[in-house]
Structure formats: C-alpha cells, structure tokens
Amino acid sequence: MKFSQLERLNFDNQFTQNLPADVNPVNSRRQVRNACYSRVLPTKVTDPKLIAWSREVAELLDLDDDPFATTEAGEVFGGNRVLAGMDPFAMCYGGHQFGNWAGQLGDGRAINLGEVVNSRNRRWTLQLKGAGPTQYSRTADGLAVLRSSVREFLCSEAMSHLGVPTTRALSLVLSGEKVVRDMFYDGNPQRELGAIVCRVAPSFTRFGNFQIFAARGELDVLRQLVDHTIRNDFPHLGAPSAASYAAWFSEICRTTADMLVHWMRVGFVHGVMNTDNMSILGLTIDYGPYGWLENYDPNWTPNTTDASGRRYRFGQQPQIALWNLAQLGQALISLFDTLEPLQAGLDLYSTYFNTECRAMMLGKLGLNVIAGQTETDTALTNDILDVLSPVETDMTIFYRRLAVLPLDGTPDKLDDSVLDALSDAYYLPAQLTEDYRATAIGWLQRYRTRVRLEGISDLERRQRMDAVNPKYVLRNYMAQLAIDKADQGDYSLISELLELLRHPYDEQPNHEEFAGKRPDWARERAGCSMLSCSS
C-alpha cells in the first residue's frame, strides 16, 4: 500500500514524551495542576474543506503534493483525522492580560497535533487553531470563525515574507459548521462560518508557560519545562545549568528585541501583547486584532478592548515587550542564586533594541551608521516624526515615495515642489499648511545633506530603501475584502493576496490598487479600522 506524504510525516513528540501530563484524561474545563499539557483530540466537523495552502510552509514539512487533489489535507487539518504518530495536546499556561495577572489561561482553542522532524532535521510543531474545546477553554467553545482565520492565515505568511520573525500558517480549512460570535460585544451575536488554521512553528511555548508554575509554586515542573526548552529549542546553549539559564534568558531578551525592531520597521501593531502572547523564541504569535499603521499615529491601537487605555499602542510596544520580559524574569527567579543574570538580560534588551532601532531607522532612509554621526543621526530620525505625525500620512507609502525623491543635482534650497513627490502619502492634502510645509522641507534639506555626506546616488539610495520599506502590507481592508468574498464562497482573493504578499518589496504593476492608501469607505468600517478580540 502506498502511503501519502501526510502519512509519512516523521513525528517525534518530545514535549509530550518528556514533560508531565495532566493525569485526568477527561476533556473538562478546570484548573490543571503540576502538568505542562493535557491530551485532547480535535472535535470532528461536518464538512472540512481546504480553501488555502502555503506552499512555502508545506516545503518545511517535505510536502509537495497538490493538497487540493484529494480530501486528505482537509480531513487532517480540519481535525477529523489523527495521523499515526500524532499525540494531540493543549498546553497549560498563564499570563498577564492588559497588565493584570489572569491566572491559568492555556490553549483554549489551540490543539498541538505533534512535532514533525523534516529531512533537514528541523523540528516543526503543527497546531490547529479553532479545532474545538480543550481543558483550558474556560467558558468558550474553542472554535474560530472564517474572518479571524483568514486574517491569521494571511498575516502569518505576510509577516514571514516581510522578514519579520513569526509563526507560520500551513492551511486554512472551512469546518462546515456555524459558530456563534458577538463581534462587537454588544449583545447581537451572529452565526458565522467556522474555520481552522494549521499553524506551524518550532515551538509554541510562551512566557506564560513558565509564569503559571512560578505563580503556583510548582517549581519542580518549572525547572523541568526550562530544561526541556533549552535542550530542544536552544541546544546551542549546552546542557541545562546556571550558565545556560543565564544565556537562555539573555537570548530571549535579544530575540524579542529583534522582533520588536522589525515590528517598528514595517509599522505593525500586535494589539494584544499579553505575556501569554509572547513567544519564547521571539516569534510574532497570535494574530488577533492586529493592524498596520496607515496614517502615522504612535498612539494607535487596532484593539477595541484597548481603546481607552491604549496600553498596546504602536509607540509603546517596545516598552511593553520589556515589561513582559521582566514578568518572565520574575517567574524564573527560583533558577538563580542572584538576580544579576536576569537584570543583565533586561539590560541587554534595552541596549540591543536601542542600537538596532537606530540602525533600522537609518536603514529606512537608505543610510548606514557612521562613526561620529550618532547625535546628528538621532536628531534626523527623531525629527521625521514631525513630518509624519502632524498630518494624516501613510507611513508605508511615505517611505516608498521618499525613496524616489530626486536629490542628485537639486538646488541648494529646496522649494515647495519637493513635496509633490510625496503627495500620494497624504490622506488629506488640505492639512498641508504653510507651517507644515516649512517643517517638512526643512527636514528634507537636512536629509539631503546627510545623504550627500554618505556619498550615495539616488539609485543606490532607492535600492537600499526599497529593500527594507515594503510596498505591500496586509492592510486590514484588504483582508476584509478577502473575507467578504470568502463568505460568499469565493476564495480567490485569499490566494491572490497570498501571492501578492510573497513579494512585499517588489514592484508589482498588476497590483497597484493594493499599493495605495486605505480607501475612504474603510476608514471606520468594522474589520478595517479597529477590531475586537472576538473571533
């Protein structure tokens, strides 16, 4: 008998083999003590149908067959079929939500199918999101709807192609079920199409996985989890020891800082930076009410739940990441004889982030770090906010238009016409007052001086800038258009956007409509501006 590629996946489930399991086999909502996970099977659905597939993620798993040729992929990644070697489970973790300790949370709508080791000896965990209730679902149903699943599938892949550290998405499957959701929490629930995303990452371990055991005083389990994580996800640090614990925490701080630098580079706003949504690997995880800055506003959050406090607004994300790392450090205190290694990690985060962010901001302008220019360059990159913030300016478009602004051979004194090249970035041209124009032109003159100091041509500057400033990002209205079509049974725009977002830095003349500003109709429409945590 010939086995399919899915049946030949090589499962090696170290998490369930090496860590303590929930001793109660019943899938009932409860507090789970002294266990890192609970075994649980996905809930079978009536009519699983594969509607989207990432070939790049499939290649990570050594899958290259046409997934649409049979119903097998839909059955497996819709939760109806458990392959030999799979050992499905839900993780136990806690977390701080909006700054407050929330106790046990756990995988309430995520079920890990198992760990696959590919032909290159890379380990990948497969996880279904929206595959039914688990022991950690609390009062929820463990399901997900099509609109949130489309957003997660597309954004996971879009972020990877942007070069942002992220979990990935293999597949999007319609369940054939209807799921009740109150999108606006206003007492008007609706029946929506259910869907399931298969997420893929080396590990889905979060800060909260460690916090829960520290909070409960289950320190033996905490140490087991830390040791397992170092052996499996950080083997280059050596065997678990005081030295490797310190190096491990420092690496978490560094990779988290790296992730935040990338978020700030592309204008991404996560929306729910709770500690249970922070990956131990420095990966962007849990795509809920996220968004990209359209008009540049450091105080913007895409999350309606966060609308009053704006804790997770764009400009505060680096500080929140540091706060979250401090909470993780607090959970790890029992591993150390002194606080110095933990403080060293937090200090590393700040130093590394500031250094890399400064280089990133210069890179967005096509410039390199030059010794002796730190003070002048910091003023230049800080003052660009005076150009972006006072009027509604599309950040993505601004940097792409700045890249083609001619600076070679321009007169010593720039005039008003220089702003014409940036006009596509402005939502409301009437906002361009004389004072604003004077400020913008003054900054552009300083920028030109700095470009000339580096001695780069317009062509080289554009090549540098276009390599780090995307032309295409997954604006919320684009995802909403795909959702609207999918609701009517047309999945073509999901595939079209996936292809578009594979090349976010390239000129794609056939897709210019997606390189423009957010349309006016999307300014306040649900799903296109702010979103709730409901899915």
Angstrom distances, CA of residue 521 to CA of 481, 524, 529:
12, 7, 10
CA separation for the pair 158, 465 (Å, rounded): 19
CA separation for the pair 155, 199 (Å, rounded): 12
Token pair 């996560």 in the structure block, residue:
270
CA separation for the pair 496, 480 (Å, rounded): 13
In contact, 91 and 229? CB cutoff 8 Å: no
How many Cα atoms occupy the beta-carbon half-sphere of 36 within 13 Å? 24
Nearest residue to 275 (alpha-carbon basis) of 125, 145, 99, 425: 99
Give every CB contact of residue 16 below 8 A, 6+ residues apart in sequence.
Answer: 37, 39, 87, 89, 114
Nearest residue to 494 (alpha-carbon basis) of 75, 175, 151, 245: 151
DSSP result, 385-421: HHHHTTTTBBHHHHHHHHHT---TT--SS--GGGGGG
Amino acid at 277: N
CA separation for the pair 34, 47 (Å, rounded): 37
Token pair 């199918």 in the structure block, residue:
113
CA separation for the pair 393, 383 (Å, rounded): 15
Nearest residue to 479 (alpha-carbon basis) of 499, 490, 493: 493
DSSP result, 23-35: S--S-------S-
CA separation for the pair 529, 525 (Å, rounded): 6
In contact, 195 and 178? CB cutoff 8 Å: no
Write out the catalytic residue numbers.
Answer: 276
CA separation for the pair 122, 169 (Å, rounded): 17
Residue 44 backbone phi and psi in degrees, to 5:
-70, 145
How many residues are recorded in the chain? 535
Residue 397 backbone phi and psi in degrees, to 5:
-70, -40
Give the strand pairing for 291-292 and 168-181.
Answer: unpaired
How many CB atoms neighbour CB 436 within 10 A?
16
User: Which stretch of DSSP H or E encloses residue 244?
Assistant: helix 242-266
